[in-house]
Amino acid sequence: MNQYTKKQLADAVRTARSQKGYTQQELSDRTGLSLRSIQRIEKEEALPRAYTLRILAAHLGIAEEPEVASHRTRCRRSRVCPTLSIYATSPQQTPQNHSDDRHRHTLDPWWPGVHRPGHPLPRNNL
């Protein structure tokens, strides 16, 4: 596994997005992330939150390590996050292509029945 700097992460997202043929606006529309967030990631202005990485992983075929969320606070002000590592996978290996949902919780933090210690429980906005 590689450990990525902001530059390497930006390159990985930019490359995966262009390989899918998406513009930044199209990626924003598909993921629900703001256009500005995608621009900041690709310009190396921000290290995205674990939630954002999970969304990008699901749509671009970039897989992220599960320990990213637990180490986010330590890496917030660092230019190089020693615990952040992602790797590109082929579309056949990404969890959203499995016939069952056993891996869904790695992409969706609000998947029913999944609670990670230290993470808030989902709110019911009804």
- Looking up residue 88, the CATH number of its domain turns out to be 1.10.260.40
Look at the pTM and tell me if it is higher than 0.85.
no
Q: 6-45: string of b/e by CB count within 10 Å (b at 16+)?
A: bebbbebbbebbeeeebebeebbeebebeeebbebbbeee
- Domain assignment present for residue 125? The answer is no
Q: How does pLDDT run across 5-62, given as a tens digit for each residue? A: 788 889 889 999 999 999 999 999 999 999 999 999 999 998 888 888 889 988 998 8
Provide the domain count of the chain.
1
pLDDT on residue 95: 46
- Domain assignment present for residue 116? The answer is no
Q: How does pLDDT run across 58-99, given as a tens digit for each residue? A: 899 886 654 444 444 455 545 555 444 454 444 444 444 444
- Domain assignment present for residue 90? The answer is yes
**Other CB atoms within 10 A of residue 84 CB:** 25
pLDDT for residue 103 is more than 70: no
Range of the domain at 37: 6-106
